[in-house]
Amino acid sequence: MARMSVDMMTVLHKCAEIELKSMELYDLYADCFTHDLDVARMWRRAAREEEDHANQFRLALKMRDGVIREVNLDPCRVEYILKELQFAIDRVKLSCPTLEEAFHSAIKLEEDLSGMHVQYVVDFEDEMCRKFFNALMMDDKIHVSRLREAYDRQTKTRDR
């Protein structure tokens, strides 16, 4: 059975932090669009999904010895993404984006992060754990498409 190294734990902590920063960004977007209840709800839902992702990384961290064989992610990429997210959060705190800008930013973020969810980052030694985490992430495969559909609905509604 493999032991989880300090480096592996650090990367998993940072991945959880990325998800929490994404949650913060989406909550800020919801705050920017409180005048449109449907849009605000959509951003809150996206924020809660990111919170769920963070919780999955936290759960993986609790499964120490014999469950995780390897963590496959470049720590430099993780740090870069954290800095980019913080920059985006700081920008929104200064000035709310347009809805179009928020959607474009979120879609780009989700595309950049799509390979950073637990089932892609963690190589599970235990088959049952792998299946468990894959099941948790099943719904998330449509995350980007859901944002694109919401964007399309909003632009069509506003064009009328």
Q: pLDDT truncated to tens, each residue of the chain (160 aa)?
A: 556 677 888 888 998 999 999 999 999 999 999 999 999 999 999 999 899 889 988 888 887 666 777 888 888 888 999 999 999 999 999 999 999 999 999 998 888 877 776 667 778 887 888 787 777 666 556 677 788 888 888 877 665 5
Query: Hey, which bits of 19-83 come out as E strands?
Result: 68-71
1-4: Cβ within 8 A, 24+ apart = 1/65, 1/66, 1/125, 2/65, 2/66, 2/68, 2/69, 2/70, 2/125, 3/64, 3/65, 4/64, 4/65, 4/68
Q: What CATH number does the domain containing 132 carry?
A: 1.20.1260
1 located within any domain: no
**Domain span holding position 75:** 6-159
What is the radius of gyration, based on Cα positions, of the chain? 17
CA–centroid distance for 114 within its chain: 8
129 located within any domain: yes
